């Protein structure tokens, strides 16, 4: 029974991972909530008054700028967690947040503009009989493509250094190459978005779970899917382990001021006679 609560026991490893996901989710939400709340306010003003409130829109744009960097930092940490690498949740999150802030902010603004245009097109096509239905279908196809790129773009940005255009392009190409995994990521991310919308009365009951795991848990499940795909594009790091004899020979070479005959003597002992316990 005591082994169940050892630091290296499976139960404790699971609990540590759950705690890390909670911390990461709260850290991400701190940068996302202001933008999401201002967007909700702007949407409610538009629904109630039927006009676009410019100050509310500007507030939404400004407050939502850090969202892209927060999502990038979150995926940077999640990928390390999935691969079993040592991860310092807040330190690694903040490191990636600062490193990718400019690119992530621009990418997020691109998604905001694209989303606004898609919503505007949808309302125009639905409210008019002059436009052919094919335009509405094309709008839906474009929305799906943008959603797929959104799923990949911040994980790709967190792992690979590239220009903004190439990051977006590579995100789409990876989504095509990893189609079975992409479908799983679509279902996971789509469910996390749709659940609060479809179950408006349910959201009040599961709201605490969203605060603790609403972003990090779906992101963790997606990281399990895209991690093997990313490895196909990561440069291989060959780690050649030296034998004990090779390490000792390298140590002999590193001796400052050592004479050639001294090195030859050490090499001869290592290669021909070996070293007994007392010599070690």
On whether the CB atoms of residues 212 and 26 are closer than 8 A, the answer is yes
**pTM (2 d.p.):** 0.78
Instruction: Scan for tokens 């409610």, then name that residue.
Output: 44
How many angstroms separate the CA atoms of 3 and 64, rounded?
46
| Per-position pLDDT tens, the chain of length 280 | 556 556 666 777 888 899 999 999 999 999 998 988 888 888 778 777 777 778 888 888 889 999 999 999 999 999 999 998 888 899 999 999 999 999 999 999 999 999 888 888 877 777 666 767 788 888 889 999 999 999 999 999 999 989 999 999 999 999 999 888 999 999 999 888 877 666 556 666 777 888 888 899 999 999 999 999 999 888 765 555 555 555 555 555 555 444 455 555 545 554 554 445 444 4
On whether the CB atoms of residues 266 and 248 are closer than 8 A, the answer is yes
Instruction: At 231, give phi and psi (nearest 5°).
Output: -60, -25
Task: Name the token pair of 84.
Answer: 């079993």
- The candidate with the shortest Cα–Cα distance to 157, out of 269, 74, 52, is 74
């Amino acid at each position: 029974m005591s082994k169940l609560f050892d630091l290296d026991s499976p139960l404790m490893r699971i609990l540590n991972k759950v705690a890390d996901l909670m911390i990461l989710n709260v850290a991400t939400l701190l940068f996302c909530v202001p933008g999401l709340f201002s967007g909700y306010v702007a949407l409610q003003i538009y629904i109630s008054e039927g006009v676009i409130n410019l100050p509310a829109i500007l507030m939404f744009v400004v407050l939502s700028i850090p969202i892209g960097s927060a999502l990038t930092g979150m995926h940077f940490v999640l990928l390390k967690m999935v691969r079993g690498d040592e991860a310092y949740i807040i330190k690694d999150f903040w490191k990636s947040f600062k490193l990718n802030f400019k690119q992530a902010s621009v990418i997020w603004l691109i998604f905001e503009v694209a989303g606004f245009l898609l919503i505007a097109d949808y309302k125009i096509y639905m409210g008019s009989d002059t436009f052919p239905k094919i335009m509405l279908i094309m709008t839906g196809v474009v929305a799906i493509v943008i959603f797929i790129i959104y799923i990949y773009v911040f994980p790709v940005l967190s792992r690979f250094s590239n220009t903004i255009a190439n990051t977006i392009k590579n995100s789409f190409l990876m989504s095509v190459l990893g189609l079975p995994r992409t479908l799983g990521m679509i279902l996971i991310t789509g469910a996390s978005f749709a659940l609060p919308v479809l179950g408006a009365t349910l959201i009040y009951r599961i709201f605490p779970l969203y605060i603790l795991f609403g972003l990090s848990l779906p992101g963790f499940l997606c990281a399990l899917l895209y991690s093997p795909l990313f490895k196909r594009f990561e440069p291989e790091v060959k780690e050649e382990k030296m034998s004990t004899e090779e390490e000792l020979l390298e140590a002999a070479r590193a001796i400052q001021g050592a004479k050639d005959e001294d090195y030859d003597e050490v090499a001869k002992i290592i290669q021909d006679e070996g070293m007994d316990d007392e010599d070690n």
